[in-house]
Amino acid sequence: MTTTATAEHRSFEADVSRLLHMMVHSVYSDRDVFLRELISNAADACEKLRYEAIGKPELLGEEPKLAITISTDPEAGKLTIADNGIGMSHDEMIEALGTIARSGTRSFMERVATADGKDGAQLIGQFGVGFYSAFMVATKVEVVSRRADSAEAWTWSSDGKGEFSVAPSPLEEAPARGTRVTLHLLEDAKSYAERWTLERIVKEQSGHVPVPISLITEPGADAVALSDGAALWTKPKSEITKDEYADFYRSVAGQYDEPAATIHFRAEGLHEYTALAFVPGARPFDLFDADRKGRIKLYVKRVFITDEAELLPRYLRFVRGIVDTADLPLNVSREMIQDSPLLAAIKKGVTSRVLADLAKLAEQEPDTFRLIWDNFGVVIKEGLYEDFQRRDQLLGLARFRTTASGEGWRSLKDYVGALKENQTAIYYIAGDDASRIASSPQLEGFRARGIEVLLLSDPIDSFWASTAPDFEGKPFKSVTQGAADLGLIPLLDGTAPPSAETSEKISALLASMKEILAEEVADVRSSDRLTESAVCLVASDKGPDRQFERLLSAAGRVDSAAKPILEVNPRHAMISAIASAEDQALRNDLAHLLLDTARVLDGERPTDANAFAERLNRLVTRSFGDS
């Protein structure tokens, strides 16, 4: 049957047109990426058919064996990648090949506009725009597809310059089922029609796709097998090379970096399953997506079921890989998966193994683990707040910048091993700016005693630190909350700690300031944590610390932040001078200026900028007038 219906012509979405222009006119160091992407798409189509055929075996028809076939015509400069997978209908073809809104297009374009040639392959893999990479090597791309169990076939065609057409395809020219992608190669890309080039790329990048791949080197030639479609995870670890693991990682993760860690094991006993998981060597682009979904694919007896099952907690969402089990029925619905007790058991087992292997890596290969923590530590720390059951295990994994670590990382085990005499707590300071909190006045007394303090600058830090009870019996304590209690810890210079007693003048000043600032602070008291600065703000012993208080207030969880406590350094020359001032108006201005100074040092602004300026003007005018 031949159809003569007129083709419909459409324009790509504006973002797609711009993207295609960038890809065609950008020079990438590795154009081989296009073949890998087209093979991955073909494999996905086969996996989708395999899944749908569980409920509808008739979809497989007379062709039950799934396969990918690469064909070349060197004389005509053509390269074809065909599969007998699920295929596409008219609407699916337009949606899949005419729009890529769900693929992070805009972010991709921002990155590619500033990237050099070396980053091309990695960017394509990160942002899921693989089909369009075909235009890096082709002047024209034609896609013929027929959906399984459909009586219609369609042809999509484009030169990548802004438009595409979709037309009915004569059934005698279309595949019985599946999709055929034909590339009319550019002059400088004709090598992609050569056998040796194609064999090299397939074996290097797509050798472990779970669908057999064969090659026909010229029209009429016999097919040559390039890969058998055997699932890598079913092989013994001793038979798998590092390069094979890396190739499979790139295939399953859609990235082009090297995996930082590979975790491959088979669980036996009450529940049997195989897991092959990878920790990426670079951050995936979707690491901080709001939905925080994992990226582990679930297989049942090597049949792909879904990539939306929660097989790892959200704080391990950067891990890529697969889980294959024979214990689930093949016809399990995707809706029932989330409530499956078996999946809950698998999630528990895989999570425990990933964390155990990370702990082993931290001990045996600290440099590799340091790279992982650099990339994913901020995400792993979400588990300290969310996963109470594994919090001790996660605290053992966690690494921190501290006042003693410089630019390096410190473990809590190292911290506890270096506790000072009479130190009973693990001290931390939280904030949104690492450099600012490192110079906070609240740290002065701790530095003077050589007490290490954790510098917590990630948003999640305030949440977990306020709920974590302890590590190895040592409670966590914020240096911006409550009394410092440093009197029992000796100073580094060997001098005696300053006396807690204050002179009558200082005591009178503190009482006066407390009265003047009663509307703005809960208390004004002498500080043993300040050695250089005149003042600082701290939170009360009960309730959240200063940073957590600010986060709650910003999120609308409390009407306003609780009143802080103003601590005053009684040994500071400025405080001694103020204590001698007898002019009440001057003392009033100075009290407010000291409070605003403490706010600025705490990363805030004066609450009343006009009042602050007026007080400063009066003080400066008085100073010059006295001179």
Q: Using CA of residue 455, residue 461, residue 466, residue 469, what is the dihedral sign?
A: negative
Q: Is residue 301 within 8 Å of 326, Cβ to Cβ?
A: yes
Question: Which one has a higher pLDDT value, 493 or 408?
Answer: 408
Q: What is the pLDDT of residues 276-318, one digit of tens each?
A: 999 999 988 778 876 777 789 888 877 777 788 889 999 999 9
How would you class 7 by CB atoms within 10 Å of its CB: exposed for 0-12, middle for 13-18, buried for 19 or more? middle
Q: What is the pLDDT of residues 345-388, one digit of tens each?
A: 999 999 999 999 999 999 999 999 999 999 999 999 999 999 99
d(CA 539, CA 521) in angstroms, rounded, equals 10
**Mean pLDDT to the nearest integer, 549-572:** 77
**Mean pLDDT to the nearest integer, 405-415:** 91
Question: What pLDDT, on the 0 to 100 scale, is given for residue 333?
Answer: 60
Q: What is the pLDDT of residues 416-468, one digit of tens each?
A: 999 998 999 999 999 888 888 999 999 999 999 999 999 999 989 988 988 88
Instruction: Measure CA of the first residue to CA of the last residue in the chain; give whole Å.
Output: 105
Is a pLDDT exceeding 60 seen at residue 1? no
Is a pLDDT exceeding 60 seen at residue 123? no
Is a pLDDT exceeding 70 seen at residue 234? yes
- 3-state secondary structure labels for all residues of 326-345: CCCCCCCCHHHHCCCHHHHH
472 Cβ contact list (under 8 Å, min separation 6): 412, 413, 416
Question: What pLDDT, on the 0 to 100 scale, is given for residue 94?
Answer: 87
- Give the percent of the chain with pLDDT over 90: 53
Question: What pLDDT, on the 0 to 100 scale, is given for residue 5?
Answer: 58
Q: Using CA of residue 80, residue 86, residue 91, residue 97, what is the dihedral sign?
A: negative
Question: What pLDDT, on the 0 to 100 scale, is given for residue 563?
Answer: 87
Q: Using CA of residue 241, residue 192, residue 257, residue 287, what is the dihedral sign?
A: negative
Highest average pLDDT, of 119-123, 225-229, 251-255, 530-534, comes from 530-534
Question: What pLDDT, on the 0 to 100 scale, is given for residue 127?
Answer: 39
In this structure, of 117-121, 333-337, 507-511, 539-543, the range with the lowest mean pLDDT score is: 117-121
DSSP 33-76: HHHHHHHHHHHHHHHHHHHHHHH-GGGGTT--S--EEEEEETTT
d(CA 273, CA 261) in angstroms, rounded, equals 20
Binding site per annotation, positions: 37, 41, 83, 88, 103-104, 126-131, 179, 334
Three-state secondary structure call for residue 185: strand
- Give the percent of the chain with pLDDT over 70: 87
Question: What pLDDT, on the 0 to 100 scale, is given for residue 119?
Answer: 47
Q: Is residue 483 within 8 Å of 536, Cβ to Cβ?
A: no
Is a pLDDT exceeding 60 seen at residue 4? no
Question: What pLDDT, on the 0 to 100 scale, is given for residue 3?
Answer: 44
Q: What is the pLDDT of residues 479-536, one digit of tens each?
A: 998 887 888 888 888 776 666 567 888 999 999 999 999 999 999 999 988 999 999 9
Question: What pLDDT, on the 0 to 100 scale, is given for residue 496?
Answer: 67
Query: Containing H/E element for 216?
Result: strand 213-216
221 DSSP assignment: P
- Cα–Cα distances in angstroms (integers) from residue 368 to residues 97, 360, 394, 402, 406, in the given order: 40, 11, 17, 20, 19
How is residue 379 written in tokens?
């995400």
**What's the mean pLDDT when you consider all of the chain?**
85
Other CB atoms within 10 Å distance of the CB of residue 386: 17
Q: How many CA atoms lie within 13 A of 175 on its CB side?
A: 28
How would you class 110 by CB atoms within 10 Å of its CB: exposed for 0-12, middle for 13-18, buried for 19 or more? exposed
In this structure, of 14-28, 254-268, 271-285, the range with the lowest mean pLDDT score is: 14-28
| Partner residues linked to 478 by β-bridges | 428
**Mean pLDDT to the nearest integer, 32-48:** 87
Q: How confident is the model at residue 103 (pLDDT cuts 50, 70, 90)?
A: very low
**Mean pLDDT to the nearest integer, 578-600:** 91
d(CA 190, CA 78) in angstroms, rounded, equals 8
d(CA 251, CA 209) in angstroms, rounded, equals 7
Is a pLDDT exceeding 70 seen at residue 118? no
404 Cβ contact list (under 8 Å, min separation 6): 410, 418, 452
Question: What pLDDT, on the 0 to 100 scale, is given for residue 301?
Answer: 78
Is a pLDDT exceeding 70 seen at residue 161? yes
Q: How confident is the model at residue 19 (pLDDT cuts 50, 70, 90)?
A: low
Question: What pLDDT, on the 0 to 100 scale, is given for residue 115?
Answer: 53
Q: Is residue 255 within 8 Å of 126, Cβ to Cβ?
A: yes
d(CA 608, CA 318) in angstroms, rounded, equals 45
Q: Which domains does the chain have, with CATH numbers?
A: 8-227 (3.30.565.10), 232-370 (3.30.230.80), 504-626 (1.20.120.790)
Binding site per annotation, positions for ATP: 37, 41, 83, 88, 103-104, 126-131, 179, 334
